[in-house]
A and B are shown apart, each in its own frame.
Chain A
């Protein structure tokens, strides 16, 4: 349906038409524009104030979080590696499989001479002493020992987490020192100990920490204290915002 001549005429005439609005029209528009401007300028400080409050709250949260983290780290001794974590009692009890393994290794040799020897094993900062431990020793091997001859291997117990026999570290014992200690069983244990320690060389200093238990305990403490602080701070901030809004509305 194409527009006919009448429609074209209507379009032309109405398109060119101009109706002068009343003199009051601009005044009304001016008033409306100034009201709108005032509203905008009122809104801006509120937005600024709100953003400032939000920043303050965010900073507060961050501060609380970091403080909490620091305190928890000091408590658990994570930040300074010098603190020795005391191993739980269970670890000592669970060392039996390692001892069994030790005996199996030693029985492969023919005649065995048993001698009570005090062996100290240093492992991961925990001193686990085997005062009643026995070192089975090849008598022949000991008799024909030359000072440079190989040493007796003694298995050290592993911590609970690691399965026994997976990591068996060998402590090298000086044969001459060991023989001397056997010859004088009644003597003090102190020199023997030192001999074993000397032969073993620099012991590896590793901190054995049960990661799971430690983490769970830390998380528990952290959650409780952090939650409480956060709730307190939220309540404080909410109250301040509420009072500010109320005072603003009154104004």
Chain B
């Protein structure tokens, strides 16, 4: 019963925000901005730039709120807009470069159990080249398929697979290094 109330509350909030009710827009913003800034931060290293991108994406959210059909979750819808905005920002800045490398190896990585903190994880992801990072984020965190990623980034499916393979390999190496450092072996 409580869930239904919450859902209807959000629906009303969206309706009011679509009608340019500033209070409703602020409520929606404060509800989702934290998570959305986290998503933008995954793609953009600089937090201030990530915030700028988030604000631009929120502008798009409020402008297109009338087109939201309440079929899926609202958060998922905003999330998609955020991701697309981050990709287009990086493209405009020409920070992403994909080597048309279709070599990838289906290998099973070691199932490393890590006790890495969120900041450590973010640092690991930041250390990846932009292309690897983007494909890794889209595939492993957002859950897109290679076909969808290829379409979004305007690359071939093979390139997407190879980028992911390289990213995984690099991450494994980084995690192993960290573990060795913690154990004092290195």
Contacts and interface: CB of A to CB of B under 8 A. Distances in A.
A18 B75 CA distance: 14
Interface stretch (B18-26, B81-89, B90-98): B18-26
Interface string B18-62: 001010011001100111011001100001000100110011001
Contacts of B59: 29, 32-33, 36
A49 interface: no
Interface stretch (B2-10, B106-114, B149-157): B106-114
Interface residues of B, number: 44
Interface residues of A, number: 27
Contact of B55 (A4, A17, A20, A28): A28
A202 interface: no
B78 interface: no
A34 to B, nearest CB: 8
Nearest to B109: A4
Interface on chain B toward A: helix, strand, loop, or mixed SS? Answer: helix
B51 A6 contact: no
B99 interface: no
B72 to A, nearest CB: 17
- The interface centre, meaning the residue of B22, B55, B112 with most chain A CB atoms within 10 A of its CB, is B55
A30 interface: yes
Contacts of A1: 106, 161, 164-165, 168
- The interface centre, meaning the residue of A9, A19, A33 with most chain B CB atoms within 10 A of its CB, is A19
B142 to A, nearest CB: 9
B78 to A, nearest CB: 13
Given A10-B125, A26-B33, 14 more contacts: A4-B109, A9-B121, A11-B140, A14-B121, A17-B118, A19-B38, A21-B37, A25-B33, A26-B30, A28-B55, A29-B29, A36-B59, A36-B63, A37-B20
15 contacts: A1-B106, A4-B110, A6-B109, A6-B111, A9-B116, A9-B121, A14-B118, A14-B121, A18-B35, A18-B37, A20-B33, A21-B37, A21-B51, A29-B59, A33-B22
Interface of B: 20, 22, 25-26, 29-30, 33-35, 37-38, 41-42, 47, 51, 54-55, 58-59, 62-63, 106, 108-114, 116-118, 121-122, 125, 140-141, 161, 164-165, 168, 171-172, 175
Interface of A: 1, 3-7, 9-11, 13-15, 17-22, 25-26, 28-30, 32-33, 36-37
